[in-house]
Amino acid sequence: MKAFIIRNLRKGDFKGVVKTYFSYYEELKENPGIGLSLYRKRPTIAQERKWFASLLENIRKKNAIVIVAQMDGKVVGMCDVLSFRPGSSMDHKGLLGIAVHRDYRSHGIGSAMLKEVIRQSRRRFETIVLSAFSNNHGAVALYKRFGFKQYGFLRRSNKRGGKYFDESLFYLNLK
């Protein structure tokens, strides 16, 4: 197994982060049940630049914690916890997202990123919430292994190509 590095997001990570995200659109053609909510149409690079700038601003304002995985000199995964609603009575709660490029899965990258983002989140958030496609058994097992508890289930939450996918809702208390 090749070594990977887990670290905080940097401004120069834009291309690697977007490449990983865009890879899900390619994978979607083969696997419509892939466990990541995606826009119906792949965003443009300009839209991604705007999103990335907003992400960096949220990090600066301490409304986000963003971890990346680097392997072979390139970013191959990202895990973030975003303040649920900054400046509101719910900003003690963070929303978790995670993505690993399919060529780099099953190397422990997801576990390593999740471990680090939880560690850093303990200084900022009291609770982390997330949702996962119920058929994404690997992700569901990962979250449970890290102590996330399921608190809800939503049938037919996502629809792709006329097919529905259920969603499981999880939380982790950090305090």
Query: For 135-144, how does the pLDDT look when each residue is reduced to its tens digit (9 = 90+)?
Result: 988 899 999 9
Indicate the domain borders of the chain.
4-173
CATH superfamily of 4-173: Gcn5-related N-acetyltransferase (GNAT) (3.40.630.30)
Torsion of CA 164, 137, 21, 49, to 10 degrees: 80
28 or 174, which is more confident: 174
The pLDDT-based confidence of 175 (bands split at 50, 70, 90) is confident
Query: For 112-164, how does the pLDDT look when each residue is reduced to its tens digit (9 = 90+)?
Result: 999 999 999 999 999 999 999 999 888 999 999 999 999 999 999 988 878 89
Is residue 134 within 8 A of residue 167, CB to CB? The reply is yes
* Kind of pairing between the strands at 149-160 and 163-173: antiparallel
Query: For 34-91, how does the pLDDT look when each residue is reduced to its tens digit (9 = 90+)?
Result: 878 888 899 999 999 999 999 999 999 999 999 999 998 899 999 999 998 899 999 9
Q: What residues form DSSP beta bridges with 170?
A: 130, 150
pTM above 0.85, yes or no: yes
What burial letters (b/e) apply to 121-146, b meaning 16+ CB within 10 Å?
beebbeebbbbbbbebeebbebbeee
Torsion of CA 97, 113, 145, 130, to 10 degrees: -10
pLDDT at 101: 92
